[in-house]
Amino acid sequence: MSTIAYDRIGVGYDDTRKADPELAGRLIRLLGAKPGARVLDIGCGTGNYTAVLAQHGFSVTGVDPSERMLAEARAKSDAITWVSACAEDLPFDEASFEGAVATLTVHHWRDLERGFAEAARVVRAGGRLVVFTSAPEQTRGYWLHHYFPEMIERSATVLPAMDRMTKAALQAGFNLSHRLVYQVAPDLQDQFLYACKHRPERYLDPGFRKGISSFALAVSDHELEDGLFRLQQDIGSGAWQAVRDSHQSSLGDYVHLVFERDTSA
């Protein structure tokens, strides 16, 4: 995704996008770093999770290619180092960080393999890279597919497949140590694409949709109008519940991947 697209989404982004306590807690546990450790947030956006990492005692640097998003991030904390950069070209020395995180961002990287190589270069041996993302097969299972099939297919297509991420990480010098699926909780506070899995009426709100890249960039006006009309009708009649139930999946909705930097590299 271009920085222009990032800048477009960044307007009012924090109206709906906030650090979810459960996801933030899981991120910190999986990172496995000690307080004071130097941690890099790749694709930090407006810095919601970056700020939580700093609050837990880490020395945090957030990088993002969007100046619009970084402007929002800088207003949150001057204790965090904010850097304008992309995942494929990180302006840091080798082994500068004890760990790194990448939250809902790998599908925006222009070059996945180079992004993982750069992460491996700047993370010290034994350090971890924690990725939070959705696999293509997970996204295709969302009940949103019933109402916005073309949008969901476009969204799934740009997501890197699990085996491709694992291969890219391995080639870069990481080993996959943990894979934990995440099912969207009813009270999820960070309102990304499938965050309102249990609250369909939220998708009728344009203020909610504007912080989601799929709705902002991957749906046509016709599909959006038609999908919203059918969704509103189904919510009113109760038919939405059958649509939801038909899309139950054991694959989970999102996934945390924990890559550990090879100590022999």
CATH number of the domain at 44, please.
3.40.50.150
pLDDT number for residue 15: 56
Q: Which tens digits make up the pLDDT trace of 58-70?
A: 999 999 999 999 9
Quote the mean pLDDT of the chain.
92
Residue range 98-109: mean pLDDT, rounded: 96
Pairing of strands 81-84, 254-261: unpaired
Domain of residue 44 covers 3-135+159-195+251-261
| Domain assignment present for 217 | no
Mean pLDDT, range 8-24, rounded to an integer: 70
In a domain, 44, yes or no: yes
Angle between helices 48-55 and 21-31 (to 10 degrees): 60
Determine, yes or no, domain membership for 80.
yes
Averaged pLDDT, 36-51: 96
Among 4-8, 114-118, 189-193, name the most confident range.
114-118
pLDDT at 220 over 80: yes
Alpha-carbon distance of 192 to 209, in angstroms, equals 9
Cα-only R_g, the chain: 18
Segment 13-27 shows an average pLDDT of 82
Inside any domain, residue 226: no
For residues 161 and 199, what is the distance between their CA atoms, to the nearest angstrom? Answer: 28
Under 8 Å between Cβ of 134 and 255 = yes
Among all chains, which residue has been given the structure tokens 């961002």? 105
Q: What is the mean pLDDT of residues 168-191?
A: 95
> Does the pLDDT value for residue 116 go beyond 90?
yes
Examine residue 35 and state whether it is found in any structural domain, yes or no. yes
Is the dihedral angle over the CA atoms 119, 122, 125, 128 positive or is it negative?
A: negative
Share of the chain above pLDDT 90, in %: 85
Q: Regarding predicted confidence, which is higher, 249 or 148?
A: 148
pLDDT of the residue at 262: 84
pLDDT at 98: 97
Q: How many domains does the chain have?
A: 1
pLDDT at 7 over 80: no
Q: Which of 230, 212, 240 is nearest to 152 (CA)?
A: 212
Mean pLDDT of all residues in 87-102: 98
* pTM, to two decimals: 0.91
Of all residues in the chain, the percent with pLDDT exceeding 70 is 93
Query: Which DSSP string corresponds to 94-134?
Result: TT-EEEEEEES-GGG-S-HHHHHHHHHHHEEEEEEEEEEE-
The reply to whether 223 falls in a domain is: no
> How large is the average pLDDT for residues 23-28?
96
**Burial degree of 191 (CB within 10 A; 0-12, 13-18, 19+):** buried
Say if 90 falls within a structural domain: yes
User: What is d(CA 163, CA 175) in angstroms, rounded to the nearest whole number?
Assistant: 13
Instruction: Examine residue 115 and state whether it is found in any structural domain, yes or no.
Output: yes
Q: Is the pLDDT of residue 12 over 70?
A: no
Token match 């880490």: residue? 58
